[in-house]
Structure 1
């Protein structure tokens, strides 16, 4: 860990004005929680810190955070169950923290809807870079873009980028922010085969550092929610040796 736990490092940049965005740190190591909270506050976020899983779920309902930094090993409820419950009422970005590097822990966390993960020990500055990259993604309807149609149709699948809505056979599909961003990226240029690196840059941001296998995990979640699979590739096709492209829906 860089920096002195529980204090802001000497020479650190002055705090930014409040962004109006809310962060929640869920970490039972109190010194680490205080350190992460101080970094987030310096980046202009309003921060709430909790130390156990049961409290995290209740606090998230009250605070409605934009981003959650969530430790995997928590008292009360573990991070996987907290994330699972969060996803029933919140579309906050979730970064999972784990002291265990085994891939199974990472995949379990991502399966329940975490957007990213970091393995301890890590640099708080890298964590802040990932948080800022996430928060720069468009998350609400904005001004129309001239060359982007209001709705994109692929057979029975309809994607509305401005409202961030997805419909399949006339029924809404509940996607996490990361899943929607992947689908929006693929559907914006449906004839293009995207490499994993290109999808990482488009969705996670150019500053993201980590295993590109993360893309495969989220594509798998997206396919399951769309009733698709890698063999059929009705909506998301695998391009061997390259990555992924949009399917026609037929």
Structure 2
């Protein structure tokens, strides 16, 4: 079984509570979840797990979400979902331009994240 078949996810979020909530949503979707509390560790986790879904926060210690997305997009075609408290339209535009696929603001509804992940996994099954 290849790493892609293992259906991995990476959660990059500095807030432990939110990181746990996102991880729980992804685990319910049947994904094996790797978490990271900052962008550098998150990029390393992506390299090591070949995920199908990645969530990224915008404001983190070390490298910010935009730079994290750019580095991830250079090595992965996984679905990147930004989950951020930043509500400025320019931040969403920057995130999408950097390579994110979807931007969700905090507080977010776990079922919306679940729906997005389910759609991605369905598309992978059909491919």
TM over 0.5: yes
Count residues in correspondence. Answer: 123
* TM-score between the two structures when normalised by the length of structure 1: 0.47
Q: Greater relative contact order (Cα 8 A, min sep 6): structure 1 or 2?
A: 2
Report what 2:34 is aligned to.
48
**Residue 55 of structure 2 corresponds to residue 98 of structure 1:** no
16, 19, 39: which one pairs with 2:25?
Answer: 39
How far did 1:136 drift? 1.8
Q: Which has the higher helix share?
A: 2
* TM-score between the two structures when normalised by the length of structure 2: 0.90
Deviations 1:60-89 (A, max 9, x none): 111111110111111111111011011111
Larger radius of gyration: 1
Return 5+ residue gaps in structure 1 as ranges: 1-18, 143-250
Give, in whole Å, the separation in 2 of the partners of 1:68 and 1:27.
11
- Give yes or no for contact 2:11–2:33 (8 Å, CA) kept in 1: yes
Aligned-residue RMSD, C-alpha? 1.6
SS at match of 2:99: coil
Report what 2:104 is aligned to.
118
Report what 2:69 is aligned to.
83
Return 5+ residue gaps in structure 2 as ranges: none
Give, in whole Å, the separation in 1 of the partners of 2:74 and 2:25.
28
